[in-house]
Amino acid sequence: MSIHPNIKKIRADFPILETSVRGKPLIYLDNAATTQKPRQVIERIQKYYQEENANIHRGVHYLSERATIAYENTRKKVQKFIGAESPKEIVFTRGTTEGINLVAQTFGRLRVKAGDQILISEMEHHSNIVPWQLLCEQVGATLNVIPFDFKGELMEAEFDRQIERYAENIKLIALTHVSNALGTINPVERLIQKAHAEEIPVLLDGAQAVPHLPVDVKKLDCDFYVFSAHKIYGPTGVGVLYAKKQWLEEMPPYQGGGDMISSVTFKKTTYNEVPYKFEAGTPNIEGVIALEAALDYVSSLGLEKIAAHEMALLKQLEQAVQADAKLKEFVRPVGTAKEKAAVYSFTLGDIHPHDAGTILDRMGIAVRGGHHCAQPVMDHFGIPGTLRASFAVYNTPEEVNALVTGLHQVLEVFK
């Protein structure tokens, strides 16, 4: 089992893991929803407010200069972390959702017209469905969907058929890199190559990928890539939109005011250069600065080691269920793709996920129960939702064992 060699030290970095829940030690297995924050991130936020608090880009005084440098250093760090060509290709947003909406209402409104199509998959998070539905309603376009199979793997033959049949009409393809509800890792590099052969731009929702996989946007050659800081041990309210500079130059502003302007008169406003053209108003300065601390933390542990650690825990849970006659009878995994991240979604007989999750909470175990903002995925399987255990670098084999014990107690309650 490939458990991270520094697991004890890692757990000590996360103060919240010392919490007791109803007299039991906290076992936090809801990391696909949000990760906990290490001291390094918490202390960086505190340092900003104690030593650097000022607005950025506009002031010439000492504090503003310090805050601006720290803020822009994060942009450079993100650029290197995801392999972008230039920091000018990095736009800070409030999260993955805002990044997708920004692309829909700028790039989309500019290029998608009545009769055109946008292509997404059946396994998308609501955040990568609803913005495209809104755009299609606004301009008279059509939203087409690529299905997935019983394992939760994208049906690539259907993707090929859609491309072959509608290439001239498809103006954008928007896909999840890793499914939040199934854990499926999509073959995005291959799909992008096929799309680009027909000159179709591609947006990737990387919210669940960046914390677990090395991401190189240049190698992927995606046109847009979005993710959230809070999924990768950073603060909430901060996200990243990567976009090729040619698209950012072409896209109109998303919001008006503040930093996105170069000059304003009552007759005409000229806009700032990219990426600032898309960053109106005072941003979440401390959150962006703390994102750098989060990325430094992940890099210090090694993303490959983190991924191996999480996958070892996933394998442990899968094997424990298979080896347990009672659990094997009732547990039905949902999402069994060959290539997947450390997410274990499952049903437990006819017990509603919310009921099972509530009982586990009484034992201090935090899992997610519900549709995970992916209702079409649940409709595909004909279920109201799943229980979902999702792993992070601070989880342990002992916590997996506790979950297995907890599932037995849930079954006992509902026997």
Domains of the chain: residue spans and CATH: 7-29+302-413 (3.90.1150.10), 42-299 (3.40.640.10)
- Kindly state the DSSP code that residue 152 receives in the 8-state scheme: S
Question: Residue 93 pairs with which residues in a beta bridge?
Answer: 239
Instruction: Tell me which residue of 377, 35, 352, 51 sits closest to 207, measured CA to CA.
Output: 35
Angle, CA 297 vertex, CA 292 and CA 299 arms, to 5°: 95
- The confidence score (pLDDT) of residue 137 equals 97
* CB-count burial class (<10 Å; 0-12, 13-18, 19+) for 54: middle
SS3 395: coil
CA separation for the pair 387, 391 (Å, rounded): 13
Q: Where are the alpha helices (DSSP H) in 48-92?
A: 62-82
Give the DSSP H or E segment for 24. Answer: strand 24-25
* Paired strand residues for 226: 205, 241
Q: Give the torsion sign (CA, 134, 135, 139, 140).
A: negative
Q: Which of 113, 99, 342 is CA-nearest to residue 204?
A: 99
Per-residue confidence (pLDDT) for residue 1, from 0 to 100: 63
Neighbours of 346 (CB within 10 A): 22
The C-alpha atoms of residue 212 and residue 282 are separated, in whole angstroms, by 31
Give φ, ψ of 17 to 5 degrees. Answer: -70, -10
What local confidence, expressed as pLDDT, does residue 5 receive?
79
Residue 265: its pLDDT value, please? 74
217 within 8 A of 245, measured Cβ to Cβ: no
Q: What is the pLDDT of residue 59?
A: 75
**Any catalytic annotation for residue 373?**
yes
Distance separating alpha carbons of residues 203 and 172, to the nearest angstrom: 7
> How many Cβ atoms from other residues are within 10 Å of residue 393's Cβ?
28
| Of 373, 375, 397, 404, catalytic | 373
Predicted TM-score of the model (pTM): 0.96
Cα Rg of the chain, angstroms: 22
Inter-CA distances, 115 with 133, 141, 143, 145, 327, Å = 14, 5, 10, 16, 50
CA dihedral over 103, 148, 180, 370, signed as positive or negative: positive
Structure token pair of residue 120: 């997404």
Is there a contact between 131 and 96 (Cβ–Cβ < 8 Å)? no
Question: Consecutive sets of 10 residues in the chain, 415 residues long: mean pLDDT of each?
Answer: 84 97 95 98 98 89 95 98 98 98 96 97 98 98 98 97 95 98 98 98 98 97 98 98 96 84 77 85 95 98 95 97 95 96 96 96 96 95 96 98 97 90
In this structure, the number of other CB atoms found within 10 A of the CB of residue 266 comes to 5
